[in-house]
Amino acid sequence: MNDRFLRACRREPVDATPVWFMRQAGRYMAEYRALRERHTLLDICRNPELAVEVTLQPVNRLEVDAAILFSDLLLPLEPMGIPFTFAKGEGPVIHEPLRSAADVDRVRQLESRETLDHVLATIRILRRELEGRVPLIGFAGAPFTLASYAIEGGASRSYARTKALMYGEPTAWHLLCDKFAAAIGDYLVAQVEAGAQAVQLFDSWIGALGPGDYREFALPHTRRILEAAAATAVPVLHFGTGTATLLEVMAEAGGDVIGVDWRIPLDEAWERIGHDRAIQGNLDPTLLLGPIDRLLGGASDVLRRAANRPGHIFNLGHGILPETPVDKVEMLAHMAHRL
């Protein structure tokens, strides 16, 4: 098996820097857009056959060293009593956003894994179909990021309602995050039992907090999930964006690998995290929209800063944008392996 990715997670030497991309499956690929003409995003997520097909699209097309389960961060919300849909071109819309302590009380504990059985079925089929070509990454969302969708009702710039509840109703905030932590910890363990060979916890919007608030409002819950995942013995990746001032506290919360974005140089980030952890990142995804010399310059800068230290996984600082040309992504994977 190509185990570069798993070796790098464990900070073992590798023959070339492992590469994969967040959102490596998605709208930038014609194969994906063709499938989306006939099925909604949630249909694909809930139908193992379709989710398997989409997961494999980038693995068949790009030189990537890992597959990531095709699913969505928000899937656990529905069985917890927080239904949502994806509005055309607008992203997720939560039907009844949580706005009060009483709303939080009504959130259900995720009682049974059966409600997310289709995800586990997808993982089992993927392991068979991948036949050890590359390892399979499972994933879930961290409490702050999940809470931000549940409370804002969708995407947000300021996270004003989220923070209003966090500061104004701290007991309700911690209760909500407790419910997410219990559910997500168990969900990640179930993914590993189904065959996921690594798991990534996405705390995409955690950069809205400073380190003091992170410690008080996010760390205890995120740590609980990362500890549950760590007990499975597969590598655990812990990712966020806008985290330049949070890297120390994020590392304290846990993760064998810390994922960083482009707002901080990779070597500086690694210093802050500590060289006893692996690091993932951190090319700006918009470089894939510009000229090739700038793209390659950016990629070589990331690799130069990693300085051949064991434990670097090459990735973007966030997901591939839908308008990205596939051939640039293809070229980037190829170059990152050879630079």
Q: Give the contact letters, 280-319, x = binds to ligand CP3 (CB under 6 A), - = no.
A: ---------------------------------------x
Q: Is 117 tagged catalytic?
A: no
Q: Is 72 tagged catalytic?
A: yes
Annotated active-site residue in 4, 32, 46, 72: 72
Q: Is 36 tagged catalytic?
A: yes
Annotated active-site residue in 3, 23, 61, 267: 23
198-203 vs 278-283, strand pairing mode? unpaired
Q: Is 27 tagged catalytic?
A: yes
From CA 50, how far away is CA 58, in angstroms rounded? 14
Instruction: Identify the residue among 6, 14, 25, 226 touching ligand CP3 (CB under 6 A).
Output: 25
Q: What does R_g of the chain's alpha carbons equal in angstroms?
A: 19
Q: Is 149 tagged catalytic?
A: yes
Closest CA to 52 of 125, 128, 117, 118: 125
Pick 141 or 311: Cβ nearer ligand CP3: 141
**Rule CB under 6 A: is residue 333 a binding residue for ligand CP3?**
no
Encoded tokens for 53 = 């097909």
Instruction: Identify the residue among 16, 42, 73, 251 touching ligand CP3 (CB under 6 A).
Output: 73
257-259 vs 278-283, strand pairing mode? parallel
The one-letter code for the residue type at 70 is: F
**Rule CB under 6 A: is residue 62 a binding residue for ligand CP3?**
no
Cβ neighbours of residue 320 closer than 8 Å, sequence gap 6 or more: 21, 22, 23, 24, 26, 28, 285, 288, 329
List residues binding ligand CP3 (CB under 6 A).
22-27, 36, 41, 68, 70, 72-74, 86, 91-92, 139, 155, 202, 204, 319
Q: Which positions are catalytic?
A: 23, 27, 36, 72, 149
